Structure 1
Amino acid sequence: MSTDDWLRRYHPAPSGAPRLVCFAHAGGSANFWYPLSAALRDRVDVTAVQYPGRQDRYAEPPLTDLHELADRIAGALLPGWPGAEPPALLGHSMGALLAYETGLRLAAATGRGPRLLVASGRRAPSAVRTERGLHDASDEDLLAELSDLGGTVPAVLADPELRELFLPPLRADYRAVETYRHRPGVRLDCPVTVLTGAADHKVTAAEAAAWSEHTAGPVEVRTWPGGHFFLTDHQEALTALLADRLTAGVA
């Protein structure tokens, strides 16, 4: 598997621009981050991770183990890591766990972890809930979950042909998340910015604050209006936050 299979760059960035690697949610794909890449193109070199089993990787079987997925992504990022300055990592929902686990692997392999982790829409790895798993639920229950979370166009959920495309990788991603357990005793040493939606029942205030258990660096929690996919309603604010964090002191 080559690096090109995993990583997508949609826009050229200025030479020497700070780097950001983005990880999508369960069922998501690299192009979820296209608008952010476009908004940051003059200031930040944005790379989006493409998981197997979707879009141009549709023919590949999706992975159902989050640790294996993080292993593969870290392997794809390793040849260019850390460079002059390690990239920042941004993940939403499942992507936040993947960004965290990938950062741990890269730090272990090179001695330098990410410069910043932005964990969006996901409780801390140690904040394990006891709740019904959806990875082995019916298609109808999975579709109801997507409808409840928002972030998916209703016409897509109603189209039988499209459902055949997105349900298998979605189910695989849910299995990866719901069977995931973090490894006690390891943590990052970078700053962590936690983003949550005020109406997102997937992350409580305590579960967001618990990210402090997973880094030796400072942790800040920012809560914006909206549900689980609050990011799509706050593109301008997200762009401003990332530009501020990543370009401070850059000529």
Structure 2
Amino acid sequence: MFITSKNAITEAISKNLVETLYIKFPISKREKDIIKLAEKKKVLIKNVDKNEMEKIVGKVYSIAADIKENAEIGIENFLQKALEKKDNPLIFILDSITDVHNLGAIIRNAYFFDASGIIIPKDNSAPINEKVYEISAGAAYHLPISIETNLNRTIELMKDKGFWIYYASEKGETSLEDFKFNTPTAIILGNEHSGVRDILKKNSDGSIIINASNDFDSLNVSAASAVIAYAYSIYKK
């Protein structure tokens, strides 16, 4: 996969995920700094001309990186690492989030507020692609992401591991202000139009609601993730 966002390239190099860095002169000071980091990390650097860059990436950029795909670590390992990191981790389960902008923003919010990871379905989900890396500002390189075939089976496994599962809804039972993150917790975030699927609701332990300050009852799913993750970061202090 090729990425061209300078923030994302910098993060990828720092995480040793860049296979090759492609450079087309002239370059900016920021790009010179990226090259220095790549040299320090012993990344293969190739100078290319305009035609070569367009042939490799599909468009003409002054800098592009060929990155390693995120390795599949398996759900068992994913959950174990979350539990080892902290006593009461927060994980987001994303149900049918098909917009790459929302996915990238949720990843960024989750990492910023120290959630332990996100789980997305293999099908009916936005892909983890260059745009997601760019929108997440590189957070996708740091936040553990597990891609699962069956979310219901994943939820059952999480329950066996001690997680409590809740879904976010405008008709939720528990206000976020009153919600206690005192156990390993997973929050399911659903599609903005259809919400969380009924089959996942039935397998949850409860639901939460973000109360509005007025009669406007709609909140973008990525904004909702930020509010929930912030509440978690405050509660665990």
* TM category, shorter: 0.3 to 0.5
Report which of the two structures shows the higher radius of gyration computed on alpha carbons: 2
Structure-2-length-normalised TM-score = 0.34
Structure-1-length-normalised TM-score = 0.33
